[in-house]
């Protein structure tokens, strides 16, 4: 893959992911699996998505055998909190067919599919061959800042464009990924359920908000630094320091089950 999400960022977002995602869709995903399923977690990173589902499964008396797939072995080396798991280190950007789905009962991923193209996702859906899919925390572009800033609209447009650039999987679906995914899954015969799962961030999440400010400003400046973006970055960081800044980051969870 051309981009790797490092462990510090994953650690910052994990507690917010846990409280943001849809427990109803997670439970419905587990309900459609055998009592002791084998689940593929794609783009597993350090195991956050699997840990969340493991906790919900354990409360239901389920034992999960995990297959964690990621292109970055240094992230997989940091996986903890899962009693049973295998790892597959694979660069699946060029071809989702390299992902091992043998013996897998269900497929899960978190914060992944906004990075891929619709064509790649269609090949992936064909590859998993009707298995249930839970796709959590797909970005949908619903950034809302409080207080607002005159440069927010420009920043949002530039960030959306950056989200759509090729990250190794072809031109990314980016902030319209949830819609594109639902269309592909519907065409493949899946019934799709969705839920809005936004991050609601404030001063209690200062480190994560600071990372978001920096990442969004960098994305807006991808093709050259602009003074208005620099000013926006400074004002946003000042608001965070003054504990006078809140940010909503839109995400969407999708559950796809084929009858």
Tens of pLDDT, residue by residue over 187-223, are 999 999 999 999 999 999 999 999 999 999 999 998 7
pLDDT of residue 141: 83
Interhelix angle 118-128/177-187, rounded to 10 degrees, is 40
pLDDT value at 1 more than 50: no
CATH of domain 7-143+166-199+248-258: 3.40.50.150
- What's this model's pTM, rounded to 2 decimal places? 0.95
* Residue 7's pLDDT band (cuts 50, 70, 90): confident
pLDDT of residue 227: 86
Beta-bridge mates of residue 42: 69, 109
- Spatial distance between the Cα atoms of 100 and 122, rounded to a whole number of angstroms: 17
Three-state DSSP string of the chain: CCCCCCHHHHHHHHHHHHHHCCHHHHHHHHHCCCCCCEEEEECCCCCHHHHHHHHHHHHCCCCCEEEEEECCHHHHCCCCCCCCEEEEECCCCCCHHHCCCCCCCEEEEECCHHHCCHHHHHHHHHHHCCCCEEEEEEECCCCEEECCCCCHHHHHHHHHHHHCCECCCCECCHHHHHHHHHHHHHHCCEEEEEEECCEEECHHHHHHHHHHHHHHHHHHCCCCCCHHHHHHHHHHHHHHHCCCCEEEECEEEEEEEEC
pLDDT value at 224 more than 80: no
Tens of pLDDT, residue by residue over 50-65, are 999 999 999 999 999 9
- Spatial distance between the Cα atoms of 10 and 43, rounded to a whole number of angstroms: 12
């Amino acid at each position: 893959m051309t981009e790797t999400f490092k462990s510090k960022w994953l650690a910052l977002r994990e507690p917010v992911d846990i409280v943001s995602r849809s427990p109803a869709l997670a439970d419905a995903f587990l309900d459609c699996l055998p009592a002791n399923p084998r689940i593929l977690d794609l783009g597993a990173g350090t195991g956050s998505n699997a840990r969340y589902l493991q906790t919900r499964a354990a409360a239901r008396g389920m034992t999960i055998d995990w297959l964690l797939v990621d292109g970055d072995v240094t992230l997989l080396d940091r996986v903890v909190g899962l009693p049973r798991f295998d790892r597959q280190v694979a660069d699946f950007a060029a071809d989702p067919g390299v992902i091992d789905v043998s013996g897998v009962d269900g497929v899960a991923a978190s914060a992944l599919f906004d990075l891929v193209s619709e064509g790649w996702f269609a090949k992936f859906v064909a590859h998993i061959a009707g298995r249930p899919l839970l796709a959590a925390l797909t970005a949908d572009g619903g950034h809302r800042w409080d207080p607002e800033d005159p440069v927010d609209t420009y920043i949002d447009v530039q960030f959306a464009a950056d989200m759509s650039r090729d990250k190794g999987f072809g031109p990314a679906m980016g902030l319209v990924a949830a819609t594109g995914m639902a269309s592909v899954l519907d065409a493949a015969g899946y019934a799709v359920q969705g839920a809005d799962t936004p991050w609601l961030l404030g001063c209690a999440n200062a480190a994560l908000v600071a990372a978001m400010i920096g990442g969004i400003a960098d994305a807006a400046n991808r093709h050259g630094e602009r003074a208005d973006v620099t000013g926006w970055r400074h004002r946003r960081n000042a608001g965070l320091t003054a504990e006078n800044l809140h940010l909503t980051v839109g995400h969407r969870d999708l559950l796809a089950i084929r009858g």
